[in-house]
């Protein structure tokens, strides 16, 4: 029995850098992987954290092969892919190289936006969840469940046209902030729930100024569940540019104490 997974970096101008995944399995004797077997695909980042890959809905081995797309892989770091279809297999290291910053939709790659520039990554806060009790004539007592709230902050990006960013935020779903992660980028790869987004004219309202800033307050959130964000993509030997997606997107973004990756 053989089960293998491989990943190849793919770059298309209008879509975020992605990894094309190919799984191959023996479906004949001896010890076959059953045709139609359900797949679980996990991405392992360089820091060891594990993240379910948001692929097409209900990925399955068909005729010994499955091909999928990972639009949410981090940039400029080695990562591994792990596939489970009864047995488990792990890929060799895959790198996705990018010098740009993308705001990536969880289910519709075409809605993702490559920003012209990151103007500011604001201060970030992890607020306490401890509750204060004040005994009479004594110092206060704090009761906590043992974790802090997730990171809150903001990112200020420069755009020539605010319309694509507005379309990205239109369904109010979480987004992925995916930056090159080089020196100075205090955020590298983070799922966030955008708060009240502002579109700002940095020239103080001068209408002929050619760019605008989108100021995006956010709270870090859990990765979207694979059941609520599923990609449906078609490709040939390389990544085809036509990707469609479906999903009821209103994924609840629960507070979680996650480190900034």
Residue 70 CA to residue 8 CA, distance in Å, equals: 10
Residue 256 has pLDDT above 80, yes or no: no
What pLDDT score was predicted for residue 258?
29
Please count the other Cβ atoms lying within 10 Å of the Cβ belonging to residue 34: 12
Give the mean model confidence (pLDDT) for residues 91-102. Answer: 95
Residue 246 has pLDDT above 50, yes or no: no
| CA 52 from centre of chain | 10
pLDDT of residue 204: 86
Q: Which of 115-129, 138-152, 233-247 has the lowest mean pLDDT?
A: 233-247
Give the angle subtended at the CA of 240 by the CAs of 234 and 245, to the nearest 5°: 45
Tokens 């993308």 found at: 102
CB 149, CB 126: distance < 8 Å: yes
Q: Residue holding tokens 């949410």? A: 72
Under 8 Å between Cβ of 120 and 155:
yes
Reported as a single tens digit per residue, the pLDDT across 106-125 is 999 999 999 999 999 999 99
What's the mean pLDDT in 217-231?
82
The mean pLDDT of 176-202, rounded to a whole number, is 94
**Cα distance between residue 41 and residue 62, in whole Å:** 15
How many whole angstroms separate alpha carbon 29 and alpha carbon 49? 36
Terminal C-alpha separation, the chain: 36
3-state secondary structure of 49: coil
Q: Which two tokens stand for residue 44?
A: 């392992």
* Model pLDDT for residues 20-53, shown as the tens digit of each residue: 999 998 866 666 788 888 999 999 999 999 999 9
36: left (phi over 0), alpha (psi -120 to 50) or beta: left
Region of poorest pLDDT, from 26-35, 220-229, 243-252: 243-252
pTM: 0.82
Q: Which tokens in the block code for residue 228?
A: 């609520």
How would residue 235 be classed by pLDDT, with cut points 50, 70 and 90?
A: very low
The confidence score (pLDDT) of residue 230 equals 60
Q: 141 or 251: whose pLDDT is higher?
A: 141
**Domains detected in the chain:** 3-97+228-246 (2.60.40), 102-220 (2.40.30)
Q: What is the pLDDT of residues 143-175, one digit of tens each?
A: 999 999 999 999 999 988 889 999 999 999 999
Give residue 30's pLDDT. Answer: 61
Element (H, E) at 36: none
Give the pLDDT confidence score for residue 189 in this predicted structure: 97
Residue 136 exposed, middle or buried by CB count within 10 Å (0-12, 13-18, 19+): exposed
What gap in Å lies between CA 103 and CA 114, rounded to an integer? Answer: 6
Q: What is the dihedral of CA 95, 183, 185, 82, to 10 degrees?
A: 20
């Amino acid at each position: 029995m053989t089960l293998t997974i491989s990943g190849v970096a793919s770059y298309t101008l209008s879509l975020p850098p992605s990894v094309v995944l190919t799984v191959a399995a023996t479906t004949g004797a001896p010890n076959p992987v059953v045709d139609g077997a359900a797949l679980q695909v996990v991405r392992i980042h360089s820091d060891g954290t594990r993240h379910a890959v948001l692929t097409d809905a209900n990925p399955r081995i068909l005729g010994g092969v499955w091909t999928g797309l990972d639009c949410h892989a981090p940039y400029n770091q080695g990562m591994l892919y792990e596939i489970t279809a009864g047995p488990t297999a792990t890929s060799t290291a895959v790198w996705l190289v990018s010098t740009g910053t993308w705001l990536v939709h969880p289910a519709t790659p075409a809605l993702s936006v490559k920003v012209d520039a990151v103007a500011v990554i604001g201060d970030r806060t992890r607020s306490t969840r401890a509750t204060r009790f004040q005994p009479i004539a004594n110092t206060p007592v704090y009761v906590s469940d043992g974790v802090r709230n997730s990171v809150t902050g903001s990112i200020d990006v420069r755009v020539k046209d605010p319309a694509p960013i507005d379309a990205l935020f239109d369904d109010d779903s979480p987004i992925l902030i995916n930056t090159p992660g080089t020196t100075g980028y205090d955020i590298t790869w983070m799922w966030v729930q955008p708060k009240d987004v502002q579109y700002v004219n940095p020239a103080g309202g001068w209408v002929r100024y050619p760019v605008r800033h989108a100021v995006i307050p956010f709270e870090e959130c859990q990765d979207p569940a694979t059941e609520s964000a599923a990609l449906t993509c078609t490709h040939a030997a390389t990544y085809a540019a036509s990707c469609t997606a479906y999903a009821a997107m209103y994924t609840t973004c629960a507070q979680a104490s996650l480190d900034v990756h």
